[in-house]
Each structure stands twice: as C-alpha cells, then as structure tokens.
C-alpha cells in the first residue's frame, strides 16, 4: 500500500513543474502569511555579513501529513546545531486550525509556523508540485542556493556555510530531477538511466535521484540491480552517511547475509566519524538486525562510552544504550538507561518521541517484573 501511495504521489507530482523557483533565483517575500507561532522569516531580504543568520530555510508542508511533526523536529535540531547561522520557518497552505494542531503537537520547539492564507506564496514557490515537505535554502543575498525535499536539507547546510555549494551545479541538478520525475511518469527506462547517470556525475549519491531510481527498480522487482546501484554510490561517495543508512535499510528488507552486513558495518566504521551519526547507526543495527553479530559488536563499541552532554544527543544515546543492554540480557540496566532517555526527551523531544520512549520504558518494566 505504501508503495502504491508513493507511486501515485510521484506520478501526480511529475505532471507539474517540480517547483517554480530554483537555485539562482531570488527568493520571494512571504506576503500575506498568518503566523501561528513565532516571527516570520523573510528569505528575500539581504543580510549583511556582520549579522546573523547566514542562511534561511523555508519549508512548505502539509500539517496533517504523517511526517509533519518530524519535519518540524528536524528543523528545530538544525537550528540548534548551527546556532545563529541558520533560521528556519514552516509555511503551510492548510487551514489555520490544522496549523494550530501542528503547533500543539510540536510544542517543545520554536520553529515559526505560518499559514499561506491565500495559497499564493505556496504556488509562487512550488508551482503545482504535490511533493511535500519541500525546502528552499537561501543565502545572505536572498538568492536560492538549493531546493528539494526537506529530508535532504541537512546535507546542504554545511557546504552552503563553507561556500562549497555551487548554485550552477544545484540548478543543473534541479533541472535534471524535474526531467527525471517526468520520465518516471512516462515510464521511459532508457532515458531515465541516462538522466540518473547525469545527476550522479554532478553529485554522487544525490538523494532525490537515488530515491526515485530505487523506487523504480524495487517496484519492478529488479532487486540485484537496486543493490548494485547502492554499492556503486557508496564507492563514489564513501563519506556520505546517508548512503550507509540507505544500504542498511535495503539490507534489512532483503535479508542480507552476515558477511554482507559485516562488510557494510566495516565500511561505515572506517569512513564515518561523527559521534551522533555513529549512535544513530548503532541504534539502527540493534533495531533492524537483532541477530547479526557484526551489528551488535559495532553498537557495543559505540555505545559503551560516556553519554554525550547535550540533552538530545544524550537522550538518543541513552535510548540506544538501553536497547543494547536489553539485547545482551541486562534488563535492569536497560531500564535505567531508558528512564534517562525519557527524562531528557521530556525536556527536548517531540510528543511522538516521548510517547515511544515511555512505551519502551513500560515494556522493560514489565519484562523485569516477569523475571
């Protein structure tokens, strides 16, 4: 059912332009926006070098979408990670009551939320696109540096801050992704291969191209070809963390062997050093591969260290450590770490994250009571 819905959305999306504004275009002022939380971010204004923020991100989303709270949480985390260098804002074409509900369920966060009352701003930015949430990253001069699905925003911020994001390249990629969407609708396999190759030549591991191509290959049951594509992109961009998570998800869904998973974990261990990313991978391996020795050994090496001091990374590490202790049979210690995760998420997490953490805590208590 999920694949059918994704296919329907992608095909409908392909029938319209990918978005009206692209990298290199001037951002438009967000007129006639009714704010339900915080102050509006103006992406069109020029920001002097001596003043923050260096970057602004405007994300268009649908409030009732399942991923809306997670998107707001992601934006909140990005603002916290990059300090005053980044300001974000959510814009929705949905009615004000829906925006108020989103505000309520993301009450722990400060990301501004505005309603496009006349739905004109959404149209001016996104044209007829149906693919939400969509993000537009804007520089100091009010020029759009990048645009694409919000889930890919985090990868673009550091390159943009370091001056390594090429507007010319991003514009070419945007054109090619738009063409790829159209080819998906037309079911043009030969041309699709050509466009995907062009995108990967511009940006190895490009998220949008990889998602679309994997969707096509898996829907047509070309599983070995999909696996080969992931392997090729990992070789082309071995320092890109997202590709390892894509590979691990693929491996979990198609029952990778112990040797295949061990090879993937070893490559991740060699190439990815960011502590928070390693904690995320440890969690994924414990959750998705409970009976694979390579995943357990990696998670143990990453998690049996002092917890990081910052509240959210500490909460994530505590939750992962709880799962590790449960896997190795120490339920009492697992409960201790899970309680710490709940305590921290009560301060900095979303309602969904907190509810999930509390459910795990209750489960561990029940296991301990039954012993």
Q: Is the pTM of this model over 0.85?
A: yes
Q: Which of 355, 347, 334, 223 is nearest to 286 (CA)?
A: 334
Cβ atoms of 60 and 123 within 8 Å: the answer is no
Structural domains of the chain sorted by starting position, each given as residue range(s) with its CATH number in brackets: 14-162 (3.40.30.10)
Q: How many CB atoms lie within 10 A of CB 154?
A: 18
pLDDT at position 18: 53
Chain CA centroid to CA 235, Å:
22
Written as tens digits, the pLDDT of the chain (371 aa) is: 344 334 434 444 444 455 689 999 999 999 899 999 999 999 999 999 989 999 999 999 999 999 999 999 999 989 988 989 999 999 999 999 999 999 998 887 889 999 999 999 999 998 877 789 999 999 999 999 999 999 999 999 999 999 999 999 999 999 999 888 888 888 789 999 999 999 999 999 999 999 999 999 999 999 999 999 999 999 999 999 999 999 999 999 999 999 999 999 999 999 999 998 999 999 999 999 999 999 999 999 999 888 888 888 899 999 999 999 999 999 999 999 999 999 999 888 777 788 999 999 999 999 999 97
pLDDT at position 212: 94
pLDDT at position 306: 87
pLDDT at position 131: 81
Cβ atoms of 209 and 180 within 8 Å: the answer is yes
Give the span between the Cα atoms of 351 and 68, in whole angstroms.
Answer: 12
Per-residue b or e along 50-89, where b marks 16 or more CB atoms closer than 10 Å to that residue's CB: eeebbbbbbbbbbbeeeebbbbbbbbbbbbebbeebbbbb
- Output phi, psi for 146, to 5 deg: -160, 150
Give the span between the Cα atoms of 57 and 142, in whole angstroms.
Answer: 11
pLDDT at position 5: 39
What is the separation, in whole angstroms, between the first and last Cα of the chain?
40
């Amino acid at each position: 059912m999920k694949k059918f819905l994704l296919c329907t959305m992608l095909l409908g999306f392909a029938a319209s332009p990918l978005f009206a504004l692209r990298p290199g275009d001037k951002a438009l002022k967000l007129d006639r926006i009714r704010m339900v939380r915080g102050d509006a971010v103006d992406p069109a204004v020029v920001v002097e070098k001596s003043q923050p923020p260096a970057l602004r991100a405007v994300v268009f989303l649908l409030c009732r979408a399942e991923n809306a709270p997670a998107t707001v949480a992601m934006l909140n985390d990005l603002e916290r990670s990059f300090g005053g260098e980044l300001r974000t804002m959510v814009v929705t074409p949905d009615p004000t009551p829906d925006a108020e509900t989103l505000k309520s369920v993301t009450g722990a966060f400060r990301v501004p939320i505005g309603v496009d009352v006349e739905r004109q701003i959404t149209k001016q930015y996104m044209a007829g696109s149906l693919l939400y949430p969509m993000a537009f990253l804007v520089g100091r001069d009010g020029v759009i540096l990048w645009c694409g699905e919000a889930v890919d925003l985090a990868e673009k911020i550091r390159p943009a801050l370091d001056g390594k994001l090429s507007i010319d390249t991003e514009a070419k990629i945007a054109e090619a992704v738009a063409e790829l969407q159209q080819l998906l609708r037309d079911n043009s396999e030969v041309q699709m291969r050509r466009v995907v190759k062009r995108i990967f030549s511009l940006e190895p591991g490009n998220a949008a191209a990889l998602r679309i191509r994997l969707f096509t290959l898996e829907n047509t049951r070309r599983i070995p070809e999909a696996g080969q594509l992931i392997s090729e992109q990992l070789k082309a961009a071995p320092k890109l963390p997202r590709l390892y998570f894509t590979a691990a998800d693929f491996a979990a869904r198609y029952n990778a062997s112990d040797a295949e998973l061990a090879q993937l974990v070893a490559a991740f261990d060699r190439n990815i050093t960011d502590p928070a990313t390693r904690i995320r991978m440890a969690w994924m391996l414990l959750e998705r591969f409970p009976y694979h020795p390579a995943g357990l050994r990696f998670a143990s090496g990453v998690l049996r260290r002092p917890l990081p001091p910052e509240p959210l990374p500490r909460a994530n590490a505590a939750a992962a450590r709880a799962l590790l202790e449960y896997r190795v049979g120490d339920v009492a210690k697992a409960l201790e770490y899970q309680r710490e995760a709940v305590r921290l998420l009560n301060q900095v997490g979303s309602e969904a994250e907190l509810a999930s953490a509390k459910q795990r805590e209750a489960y561990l208590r029940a296991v301990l009571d039954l012993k």
